[in-house]
Amino acid sequence: MKDIIRVKSLISADVETLLNQQIKKEAQSSSAYLSMASWCDRNGFDNSAEYFFKQAEEERQHQMKFFRYVLDMGGTALSPEITNVKIEYNSFREIFEEALDQEISVTQSIKNIAARCHKEQDYVTVEFLNWFFKEQREEEYKARRALELFDLIGEEGTGRWEIDKHVGKIHYGNEAGE
């Protein structure tokens, strides 16, 4: 009896499901960042708004990367429905706290996919995921750095204005320690 399933698809049904969940997670991240950009813009934090616009674009690219991978491997990529996108935030700081939480949750979720891939020896998908691990290193670093500005500069007086000025300058070198 031929192995039709393997001929049709490189990834297993379980990995396909996890990748589709990740597609949705990246789309949710993109929407959340867009919402954060909107709030920052409305409240006069122009540099932060710009920073979140860029993050929103990046998340969309991540979503597309996963999407095309699922299709390329013979799977069915699902276009996700995104609901309950937050509009209001309690403070400038809360936005950056949520941004970091979101990045941590994305890293954990990709780790979970990799664990499943190792279990079924799907090293092809593991190799694909490696790009994202490197990306998450940068994403978490930037989100953490942004949040640190609140403690470093302080929010009193022109503090928030100063924080906003520095958000646009956060940069991560390609290699750790750079």
Partner 1 sequence: MQNTTLEVSTHLAEVYSTVKGAVYQSDSEKCWYVDFAGKMAKFDYRNILKLKKAIYAIDIEEILLNSSKTADVEIVFICACEHCYVLTLLEIISFKELLEGTFVMLSLNQILHDRLYRIAA
Indicate the residue among 78 and 104 with the shorter CB distance to Fe ion: 104
Which CB atom, from 4 or from 87, has the smaller least distance to partner 1? Answer: 4
Summarize as ranges the residues that interact with partner 1 (CB under 8 A).
1-9, 13, 76
Site residues (CB under 5 A) for Fe ion?
26, 59, 62, 139
**Nearest approach, Cβ of residue 1 and partner 1 (Å):** 5
Residue 139 interacts with which of Fe ion, partner 1, none, CB < 5 to 8 Å by class: Fe ion
DSSP state of 175: S
- Determine contact, residues 6/22, Cβ cutoff 8 Å: no
Burial class from Cβ neighbours inside 10 Å (0-12, 13-18, 19+) for residue 121 reads: exposed
CB of 4 to partner 1, least distance (A): 5
Shortest distance, position 158 Cβ to Fe ion, whole Å = 29
CA distances from 101 to 32, 95, 104, 174 (A): 12, 10, 5, 23
CB of 147 to Fe ion, least distance (A): 15
Nearer to Fe ion, 32 or 73 (CB): 32
Handedness of CA 103, 62, 21, 36 (dihedral sign): positive
- The partner in contact with residue 76, picked from partner 1, Fe ion, none with C-beta cut-offs of 5 to 8 angstroms by kind, is partner 1
Q: Counting Cβ atoms within 10 Å, is residue 46 exposed (0-12), middle (13-18) or buried (19+)? A: middle
Closest CA to 49 of 98, 107, 12, 95: 95
Among residues 2 and 156, whose Cβ is nearest to partner 1? 2
